[in-house]
Structure 1
Amino acid sequence: MLSRLHEAVNRGDAELISKTIDELFDPDVLIRTPLPVKATGAQALKEVFTTLCRAFPDLHIEVEDMIAEGDRVVSRNTVTGTHLGEYTGLPPTGRPVTYNEIFIFRFAGDRIAETWGVVDVLAQMRQLGVAPGGTSGPQRHDRDG
């Protein structure tokens, strides 16, 4: 089910993203992650994805892990895109970004009723040149070396 949302985002089609959100999420979904929008529920998600797709027209979500148990699904993703539109007040830089995110989705029936998420915004901002730490992407740390 969540793969439909990722596929819609990866196509970059705002109408398809909005339609998919309407189909998958309860209109009053509780979003437990701070968002830079005043809207709530499914409308907040639409606004977030509209903003992301305008700023990063080639936005791509790669699912690294998806785990389901009971009424919850966890998705660990790698997100990539090129900053070609205004984003959080920052004019386009043309820079590529790669960052990680983890989301938990709670289902009620066949719809998502609640979400929690952690997005590596610091890595995103570093790569866009607006936070200290350089412009490198997420770091991999091998346990054996």
Structure 2
Amino acid sequence: MTAREDASALIQRMHECFNTRQFDQAADLHTPGFFSHPLDTTGFQAGKDAWRTLTARFPGIRVVAQDILVDGDKAAVRSTVEGITTLDGDAQPMLIEIFRIEDGRFAEMWGVSTGFPPSASPEPPRRAGMHILRGDPPGSSTRWPADRPRCGTGTAR
């Protein structure tokens, strides 16, 4: 297999572990020092806990990769999420994640979600008035005030 095929297979395996609720096997796909930027944690235990919470709340939840792009040691995946009821006309929930892969395992992850009902969002709540700049190193205190314009928008988000 090429590095591209290996990365794609690793992502597919992670989705398979989630969809079949084999959370302990998913832990083996991550390095011991794996860092989740959205959860701001080291190790995969917080990821397993988040997965357990989501599957308890939504027993039919499934993640389906739509696009996997690989560049060097990074892989990006756009996934749809099935099994969560949304309001009529709302978009189907979606995840966009970027992984850094080290020695055939996930070493680091950045991610955003859209279309999730507030009670189902996999992202932790944001602090009032502040947006965490995802991808900051562990322990970093870099923050962006919510009332300041973001890149190219000219308006606050």
User: Is this a same-fold pair by TM over 0.5?
Assistant: yes
TM-score, length of structure 2 as denominator length: 0.61
Paired residues of 2:95 and 2:111 also in contact (CA < 8 A): yes
2: CA distance between counterparts of 1:50 and 1:127? 14
2: CA distance between counterparts of 1:69 and 1:125? 32
Pair 127,80 (structure 1): closer, same or farther in 2 beyond 3 Å: farther
Pair 107,59 (structure 1): closer, same or farther in 2 beyond 3 Å: same
Q: Does 1:3 align with 2:12?
A: yes
Q: How many residues align?
A: 106
Q: Which has the higher helix share?
A: 1
TM-score, length of structure 1 as denominator length: 0.66
Unaligned runs of 5+ residues in structure 1 are 83-95, 129-145
What does residue range 1-145 of structure 1 map to in structure 2 within 5 Å?
1-11=10-20, 13=21, 16-20=22-26, 22-34=27-39, 40-82=42-84, 96-97=85-86, 98-120=92-114, 123-125=115-117
One-letter identity of the residue aligned with 2:83: G
Paired residues of 2:77 and 2:98 also in contact (CA < 8 A): yes
Paired residues of 1:31 and 1:114 also in contact (CA < 8 A): yes
One-letter identity of the residue aligned with 2:111: G
Tell me the C-alpha RMSD between the 2 structures: 2.0
Q: Which runs of 4+ in 1 moved over 6 A?
A: none
One-letter identity of the residue aligned with 2:78: R
One-letter identity of the residue aligned with 1:78: T
Q: Percent identity?
A: 30
Pair 81,28 (structure 1): closer, same or farther in 2 beyond 3 Å: same
Paired residues of 1:28 and 1:41 also in contact (CA < 8 A): yes
What do the CA deviations read for 1:60-85 (whole angstroms, capped 9, x no partner)? 11111000110001000111224xxx
Unaligned runs of 5+ residues in structure 2 are 1-9, 87-91, 121-157
